[in-house]
Structure 1
């Protein structure tokens, strides 16, 4: 039976942080169900590309690829999923107010199932109340959200690219860490990669 993973998304999800994990998991024959509140399979979300070039006080944003959702948010059965992926971008900023999104996150934590969040994705975790007494990484601009959620924020470390693993949670600051972030999530899923 193929393992299923749930991935949350929404308009202005960060392009790399949606596509790269999706393709990495698909490559391992994992069935990824990408959903968005108030949308159904076949609807699209607009992605965004965030550029951190160091010359600006913050990142710049450009339109990314439209992404066709694979499944209908209203129809998901949480018992079907072995883990949860929360990309970054701007969608966590507004979806952290969606009660069902928060309940989805709580479901995975209550069952100690693997959860991977990157960049602004930690805003949803903080809003769901699952970060208390934990440590996690995320985009530096989310430090205040992480700390308000009761967690210790792990500062950026270029050597590790800031992937941070604690129990069932894998977090990272932004798309440059996607490779190590997914590597650690895949380990938590118990998937063995043969070389």
Structure 2
């Protein structure tokens, strides 16, 4: 089984590495791609820390070597899509190629796991209309603007929301329950 994971510079470190390692543990091949980059290119990750300030702080994360070339992906090969957060969704939501990938997975009703700021990409792709989802609280307006219903959780750590083929969560502390629900949708 193959899963596609969208990425870009300043992707949230945990939201990249943890899904890859958890899915690999289940013998799932995760293809990590970034627009205009090829296998072997490096992207920079970031650690986002919720530490009591008005917003999260950011520290450099681990560099990551892309596993596959964006231009070479064949969407029909993938059983599902992972859309992490961080800052990359902020700029990739203007890339029609990325939005088309997201639309594809929704059009054919394949499982999609989106977390934190990743919901900005789903909103821009127009796939949230009539759906409910969670996201980082500062993305609430993006979800609403995209026609979705924002599901608010007081705590990040154990909260996940499932609406059809979409699994969403507010931030990386919920990665465990988020991945559990995604794996259920993959029928593993």
TM-score of the superposed pair, with normalisation by structure 2: 0.98
User: Which consecutive unaligned segments of at least 5 residues does structure 1 have?
Assistant: none
Shift of 1:114: 0.0
- Number of residue equivalences: 188
Q: Which moved more, 1:154-163 or 1:32-41?
A: 154-163
Runs of 4+ off more than 3 Å: none
Which digits, 9 at most, give the CA deviation of each residue in 1:140-183, with x for residues without a partner?
A: 00000000001110001438732000100000000000000000
Retained in 1: the 8 A contact 2:156–2:173? Answer: no
SS at match of 2:168: strand
2:131 matched to which residue of 1? 134
- Give, in whole Å, the separation in 2 of the partners of 1:101 and 1:153: 22
2:80 matched to which residue of 1? 83
2:66 matched to which residue of 1? 69
2:175 matched to which residue of 1? 178
1:114 to 94, 106, 111: 111
SS at match of 1:170: strand
User: Which consecutive unaligned segments of at least 5 residues does structure 2 have?
Assistant: none
TM-score of the superposed pair, with normalisation by structure 1: 0.95
- Give, in whole Å, the separation in 2 of the partners of 1:160 and 1:133: 26
1:152 matched to which residue of 2? 149
- Give, in whole Å, the separation in 2 of the partners of 1:91 and 1:159: 21
Q: C-alpha root-mean-square deviation of aligned residues, in Å?
A: 1.0
1:33 matched to which residue of 2? 31
- Give, in whole Å, the separation in 2 of the partners of 1:70 and 1:14: 17
- Give, in whole Å, the separation in 2 of the partners of 1:152 and 1:84: 21
- Give, in whole Å, the separation in 2 of the partners of 1:88 and 1:159: 14
Retained in 2: the 8 A contact 1:154–1:162? Answer: no
